[in-house]
């Protein structure tokens, strides 16, 4: 079975990572494992933005991927951006193998609300499956309840299911790296 490696970026709540490892296989029919090391986010910090450049994190992740590895999903707890946007919840390499997501703006506390751990865990799953979908060539979906719907704010993330709509599922099943494993 295809294996997703979860990579903590700096200090990340391990219980959230364990929940994610258990949940991703239910959404995507892949196996999931937490890597025993972490990636230091510090080199991707840009003081002028007080944020971390997600594309630079992806580039550094790329150097960790061995030929036999399938997908790497990094989980950060710092605020991510790309230069043309104020922030991103995550970023993926279209067609793989690397994607990164951040907990930072998924937390209720970020919006001045009381912490909600189950909601945070759910948002992390949705965002993770979304970015992994991009690594499998899926583009944004018009169905707002599909995990591949685009989201400009956290409210949009909450509208998504943690799974693919039928159309995205069909596309995914014909993706070479999934289809050949079934043959
Ligand atoms: Zn997207
Ligand atoms: Zn869809």
- Domain spanning 3-182, CATH class: alpha beta
Q: Please tell me the distance between residue 179's alpha carbon and the centre of ligand 1 in angstroms.
A: 22
Q: Which pLDDT does position 182 carry in this prediction?
A: 56
106 phi and psi, to 5 degrees?
A: -95, -15
Q: Tens-of-pLDDT digits for all 183 residues of the chain? A: 899 999 999 999 999 999 999 999 999 989 999 999 999 999 999 999 999 999 999 999 999 999 999 999 999 999 999 999 999 999 999 998 999 999 999 999 999 999 999 999 999 999 999 999 999 999 999 999 999 999 889 989 999 999 999 999 999 998 888 776 655
Say what the pLDDT of residue 180 is: 63
Kindly give the distance from the C-alpha atom of residue 169 to the centroid of ligand 2, in angstroms, as a whole number.
7
Starting from the CA of residue 133, give the closest ligand: 1
- What is the Cα–Cα distance from 23 to 15, expressed in whole angstroms? 12
Backbone φ and ψ of 31, nearest 5°: -90, 160
Q: What is the pLDDT of residue 181?
A: 63
CA quadruple 120, 94, 24, 53: dihedral sign:
negative
The active-site residue out of 131, 155, 173, 180 is 131
Q: Where along the chain do its domains lie?
A: 3-182
Q: What is the pLDDT of residue 17?
A: 97
Q: 101 has which bridge partners?
A: 75, 90
Query: Which among 126, 59, 150 is positioned nearest to 98, based on CA atoms?
Result: 59
Q: Which residue has the tokens 């364990």?
A: 18
- Identify the pLDDT of residue 55: 98
CA 84–ligand 1 middle distance (angstroms): 15
pLDDT at residue 151 in the model: 86
pLDDT for residue 43: 97
CA 59 to centroid of ligand 2, rounded, Å: 28
Active-site residue 48, yes or no? no
């Amino acid at each position: 079975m295809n294996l997703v490696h979860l990579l903590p970026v700096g200090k990340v709540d391990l219980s959230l990572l364990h929940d994610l490892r258990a949940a991703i296989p239910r959404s995507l029919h892949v196996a999931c494992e937490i890597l025993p090391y972490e990636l230091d986010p510090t080199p991707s910090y840009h003081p002028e933005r007080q944020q971390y450049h997600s594309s630079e994190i992806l580039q550094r992740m790329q150097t960790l991927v061995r030929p036999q590895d399938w997908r790497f999903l990094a989980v950060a707890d710092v605020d991510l951006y790309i230069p043309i946007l104020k922030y991103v919840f995550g970023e993926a390499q279209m067609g793989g193998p690397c994607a990164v997501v951040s907990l930072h703006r998924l937390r209720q506390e970020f919006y001045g609300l009381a912490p909600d751990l189950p909601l945070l865990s759910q948002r992390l799953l949705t965002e993770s499956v979304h970015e992994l979908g991009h690594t499998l060539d899926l583009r944004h979906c018009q169905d707002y309840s599909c995990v591949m719907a685009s989201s400009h704010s956290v409210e949009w993330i909450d509208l998504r299911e943690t799974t693919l709509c039928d159309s995205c599922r069909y596309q995914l099943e014909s993706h070479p790296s999934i289809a050949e494993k079934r043959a």
